[in-house]
Structure 1
Amino acid sequence: MHFLLLGATGRTGQHVISELLSQGHTAVALVRSSAKLAPRPGLTLVTGSPLSKPDIKNALSAAPSLTPSAAIITLNTVRKSDSPFAPQISPPRFLADSCANVCEVLEDAGIRRVVVMSTAGVGDSWANLPWLSRVFMGWTNIKYALEDHGLVDKEIRGTKMDWTLVRAVRLEFDDPKEKQTDTKADVKTLGSKGVGMRMTDSVTVASVARFLVKVAVQRDFVKSAVVVRN
């Protein structure tokens, strides 16, 4: 299959690229800067913004003779640093407007499948998020990302797309100083509401990436959200 990728330069997005290419798929990634990704066979890079519909259209036709069968979106909001208290850099509705643009362009092109990386706590999973996590999100600037993901949730349900929202619990990122073991372990799914979430829950970015690719290819969880953890 051939995929359109948004958020490919991020830590989860780069794992999505590796997972797709390792399975023999191809992809075109719409990125703000191609310098952040090394050229790889099967990967086409297009410079542009998900806030621009013309840029998204250019990405769809960037690979000769290949039309994406699906899109995988791993965009996230950006803060000045990784600190949860750091000021937000991304504009309001960055995720929601990007998702709306992508869905509109894909619908016009006759492409219906889209898989979106979201986060636990969005929508009907909020009530099952551990209370300390709810307090932390409300106290820090992480709340702005949560709000934008919530807007994505609302936007995508109004489209005609065959969408899936993957709501990941706390992400574990790669530590270059340590040898990674079993970073692509299968995830456990907790349904849309995330019943059974715990404070200790986490999921590796590699595991999430493999799950995103799996549901995109196999068309699992169509028109539904799902909370995932390791």
Structure 2
Amino acid sequence: MKIVVLGATGNIGSHVVKEALSQGHEVVAYVRNPDAVQRQTGLTVVRGPLDDRAAMAKAFAGGDAVISAIGVALRAKKPIDLMQRTLPVITAAVQDAGVERFVLVSAFGVGDTAAKASFLGRLVYKTVVAAIFKDKALSEQNLPVTGLNWTIVNPVNLKEAPAVPAATVKPLDQVGRVPGLPTLPFANVARALVEIAADRGLAGQRVLVTTEKGWKPQKHAAA
């Protein structure tokens, strides 16, 4: 596959680039600062801003999937509206380029996913990251009407650490609850993102990425 990565210099995006290359995929990193990306075999680095639809469409052309891993730092100045400003431009560029798959990295706790969180989780989502998560939630509302083959990925808390042996990837409609505050290494989420990008069966779905024990199944009412 040819995978285009947005946010390739960030914690998640840099791991996605590394994982995709290790699996033998061709990777295009679309970034503001090319000097921040280590040159590697199989990697093409393209300079460009997130508000330039034409530049992104040109960079996306010929790609099989675009993975957007852009995000806002916790200490970002308000108003926080990065995703609301940029996601419509990104999705339009994906359409212009005729790319088949679009994978958006969100977060568990964004929008109605918070209802599945623990009490502690909901407290964190309503306070520490409230503005960031609101921006994500508002931006994602229009994704279903773009006509794209999209998947929203909602990972739990993340950290820089060696990959664990396994992680759980589940459509959110199969998840009843996420107890506690499960945390995964960036490397595991990156691996899941590359796999999700290749899985056309996840089109139009929101997907949780968590630890092996960091979820409980949805309980279905008896017939």
The TM-score range, normalised by the shorter chain, is 0.7 to 0.9
> Normalising by the residue count of structure 1, what TM-score does the alignment of the two structures yield?
0.84
Alignment of 1:1-230 (within 5 A): 1-61=1-61, 67-79=62-74, 86=75, 88-89=76-77, 92-140=80-128, 142-174=129-161, 180=162, 183-192=163-172, 194-230=175-211
> How many equivalent residue pairs?
210
Counterparts of 2:11 and 2:164 in 1: how far apart (Å)? 14
The alpha-carbon distance between structure 1 residues 90 and 219, as it changes in their structure 2 partners (threshold 3 A), is: farther
The alpha-carbon distance between structure 1 residues 149 and 49, as it changes in their structure 2 partners (threshold 3 A), is: same
Unaligned 5+ segments in structure 1 are 62-66, 80-85, 175-179
Aligned-pair identity in percent equals 28
Moved over 6 A (4+): none
Counterparts of 2:106 and 2:201 in 1: how far apart (Å)? 16
The offset of 1:40, in angstroms, is 0.7
Deviations 1:47-72 (A, max 9, x none): 111122133123235xxxxx101101
The alpha-carbon distance between structure 1 residues 107 and 138, as it changes in their structure 2 partners (threshold 3 A), is: same
Deviations 1:130-152 (A, max 9, x none): 12222222222x11110121123
Counterparts of 2:125 and 2:159 in 1: how far apart (Å)? 17
Matching residue's letter, 1:161:
L
The offset of 1:91, in angstroms, is 5.8
Q: Say whether the 8 Å CA contact 2:3–2:26 is kept in structure 1.
A: yes
Unaligned 5+ segments in structure 2 are 212-223
RMSD of the alignment, in Å? Answer: 1.8
